[in-house]
Amino acid sequence: MTPLIIITLVVVWQFVLLGYTFTLAGNAADEAVRAGTAAHRGERQAVCEQAGRDKLPDAWTSGAEVSCPSSTGYVTATVTLHVPVLFPGAFAFSFDVKGHAGAVEEEDD
């Protein structure tokens, strides 16, 4: 019975990490877009990407990809994170989690 309980706990813990990674990716995309809408056009890309990485824990930052493609009137951000295997920062699965957000760009005064 003990091996079954341990396997169940490991599987549940892995699903918790998967869900947390989805939450981190979505939040990072939201933060990136929020910063990108307030930045001037010339520095929007760098500000957006930096804001997307700032709120991520260290274990997820290393493999994070933040892209903020520019389009007229609309700011979008996509954050791609690797899903860790059992311990954040050690190994990652071969699939990634993506968070995507968008907002209307603020006008420059």
71-82 burial string, b = 16+ CB within 10 Å, else e? eeeebbbbbbbb
pLDDT tier at 27, thresholds 50, 70, 90: very high
Q: Are 76 and 69 spatial neighbours (Cβ–Cβ below 8 Å)?
A: yes
pLDDT tier at 29, thresholds 50, 70, 90: very high
pLDDT at 60: 79
pLDDT at 23: 94
Spatial separation of the C-alpha atoms in residues 82 and 2, rounded to whole Å: 31
Model pLDDT for residues 53-79, shown as the tens digit of each residue = 888 888 878 778 888 887 777 888 899
**Does 84 have pLDDT greater than 90?**
no
Burial of 45 (0-12, 13-18, 19+ CB in 10 A): middle
Alpha helix positions (H), 55-96: 58-61
Give the predicted TM-score (pTM) of the model: 0.82
- Per cent of the chain over pLDDT 70 is 94
- Per cent of the chain over pLDDT 90 is 24
Spatial separation of the C-alpha atoms in residues 87 and 101, rounded to whole Å: 27
Spatial separation of the C-alpha atoms in residues 71 and 87, rounded to whole Å: 38
